Structure 1
């Protein structure tokens, strides 16, 4: 039947042609889809990539990140968790959202019976930072191989309009992000969080910042001092202490590497560019930026 149908098709064609099934050799012997790897090649387990959206986001926000990692590393044994547990309520306090995220990661690992060799977090605001030791302890129980942590932080806090959003949403996270959850700045959630161990548990800490992003202070995304903080005698010392709390353990940790990436976008002259929003959301919707970022630097941390 196949040969008969093939002959009839060739008769109907108005030009001479040959079908690929008749060719003795193919143009390429490389498979379009790479074959499944043998388990022996991955004795250290698979690499789990946890993609966590930011404020008022959802699980689809980082889909392009997932796409370009998969395209850049074909055949790699990567498993993606596109976090969705917090997308229905991103305005909750960070402790609540951390509990949800940790529970989601553990359930994902148990549901698919995964053997994890490495876990990486590609995040806008990584809620793993609040209690990274919890997931570290769980992974050690699942595998004899020590997990490698990777964190890529894109800060995404816009103070313009936060007061109004706080009034409308009654948000615990907005209070925490704006240091208004306590009258004493040294007792606020973010200050206390800076004192807890966290970043030093990661093998690589990659901070990506753009001076064109007017939603997020450039120095904040890079975790570094700014002129305003140096001149402010009230909150300046608090900001300095937070930076030291965050970076000192990273500097002292021999196996932790801190990398800062500065990004300059080629942006059109639009209203979004003028107010700094275009550069702010480029980490989500700019295929050009994400492709170049992973080709130039990003994929090195996923191999």
Structure 2
């Protein structure tokens, strides 16, 4: 069970602003988290139990990218030692390289042409001509994962909005056959992330990849099912997955 003393923050810093540069969104989230934690630390310090603080995060979709960007902000550095459990739900940790959903990719291309949304350029590695200067390449170099004691990655094969391998932080077949600079950059990003997960800075780290297979026949035939949005949103519409993990691994949330 979750400790009744646990306090939650539902982030509002980026509501209606999720088309901005990830760096702007990350800074806003970092400022929001720091303000929240400082308030709680002041309260806890009065009882002399400052060492009891554990800071855990749950992110969905691009919220995971915003979260990792926030963790790289300098104002978060004093609080990294309190990081505990991180649950990533369908997070595009490696961006959209090797995305196999052609319909969704076409939609992203159209958004870039019509709106010029910066975060879409960053997700698709078109924010710089040199892949090694792109936002995601640099984000993977940041030590955003290694301070967590526990890391859980939730993904779904039916989710067409986020590449399966990106949500699971693992190699995909297309990348393993690609010997171009793109393939080399992808492997470097992947290894940078995995090195953080394997980092010895935290003893007894728990790392879990958890797949959720949705019964898509229950959705009926519609556009959301066709483009893979239904499964992506289902994670938010049902809390059964979070409950399953919390009951299966209660020590990760104490």
TM-score range, shorter chain: 0.7 to 0.9
SS at match of 1:247: helix
User: Which protein has the larger Cα radius of gyration, Structure 1 or Structure 2?
Assistant: 1
Tell me which stretches of 4 or more aligned residues in structure 1 moved more than 6 Å.
none
- Structure 2 counterpart of 1:176, from 122, 128, 140: 122
Cα deviation, residue 290, structure 1: 4.0
Cα deviation, residue 166, structure 1: 2.7
1:101 maps to which residue? 29
Gaps of 5+ in 2: 45-49, 93-103
Q: Is the 8 A contact 1:210 1:263 kept in 2?
A: yes
1:191 maps to which residue? 137
Structure 1 residues 253 and 128: alpha-carbon distance in aligned structure 2, compared to 1, 3 A threshold: farther
SS at match of 2:54: strand
After TM superposition, the structure 1 = structure 2 runs for residues 1-303 of structure 1, keeping only pairs within 5 Å, are 73=2, 76-111=4-39, 113-115=42-44, 117-124=53-60, 125-126=63-64, 127-132=66-71, 134=74, 136-139=76-79, 146-156=81-91, 159-234=105-180, 235-253=182-200, 255=202, 256-267=205-216, 268-270=218-220, 271=222, 272-297=224-249, 299-303=250-254
Gaps of 5+ in 1: 1-71, 141-145
Count of matched residue positions in the alignment of Structure 1 and Structure 2? 225
CA distance in 1, matches of 2:29, 2:146: 20
CA distance in 2, matches of 1:274, 1:162: 16
Provide the aligned C-alpha RMSD in A: 2.4
Question: If the length of structure 2 is used for normalisation, what is the TM-score?
Answer: 0.78
Structure 1 residues 220 and 100: alpha-carbon distance in aligned structure 2, compared to 1, 3 A threshold: same
Structure 1 residues 244 and 147: alpha-carbon distance in aligned structure 2, compared to 1, 3 A threshold: same
Cα deviation, residue 282, structure 1: 1.5
Which structure ranks higher in relative contact order (CA pairs < 8 Å, sequence separation ≥ 6)?
Answer: 2
Q: Is the 8 A contact 1:180 1:188 kept in 2?
A: yes
Structure having the larger proportion of residues in helix: 2
Question: If the length of structure 1 is used for normalisation, what is the TM-score?
Answer: 0.67
